[in-house]
Amino acid sequence: SVGSGLSLEPPATTEVDEEEDGMSDIIQEVTGLIWSQDLRVQEVRRLLQSSRPVRVSVVQLPEVSDHEYIEEKENKLLQLCQRTMALPVGRGLFTLFSYHPVLTEPLPVPKLNLTGRAPPRNTMVDLNSGNIDVPPNMTSWPSFHNGVAAGLKIAPASQVSLKPQLHQAM
């Protein structure tokens, strides 16, 4: 694991991942109220998904050795990771001011999953094998942008009502 919120290890894919993508609340609010039959918002959510492994599709030609094939898959994953690391910028704009935080709970920050799955056997591909050169500190700025995107999701303070909570507590 590199940096906060970044993962180079394969996460378990569960229903919790659906909520950890940072976009579930906007999908429920917007699609249910405004565009109930329109699937474009769900497609945007799918395109901005960064918490799941990406699909690494590389065909092994007969003249390519197994070692070269593994390197080719990892190079393809590195290219796909550059896309994954750019997703928080779009997610920040997509979810702008859509989250009304509970003051006592931590701000959820979606993970940047930098692993892949290769068909047909769905084998794991990662950048930790040492077969290819990975740039040092590659995830520093993406981690920062991921945190900023989570912060942009918070609605302005004028929309958060603190007074009812204070009166209830007294």
Query: What do you get for the CA distance between the two ends of the chain, in Å?
Result: 44
CA distance 128 to 117: 14
Strand runs labelled E in 10-153: 54-55, 112-113, 116-118, 123-125
Identify the band that residue 10 occupies on the pLDDT scale cut at 50, 70 and 90: very low
User: Mean of the per-residue pLDDT values for the chain?
Assistant: 82
Q: How many CB atoms lie within 10 A of CB 134?
A: 18
pLDDT in tens, 14-54: 444 444 787 877 766 666 666 667 788 889 999 999 999 99
pLDDT in tens, 130-144: 889 999 999 999 999
Query: What residues contact residue 88 under an 8 Å CB cut-off, 6+ apart?
Result: 50, 110, 112, 142, 145, 146, 148, 149
Q: For residue 104, is pLDDT > 60?
A: yes
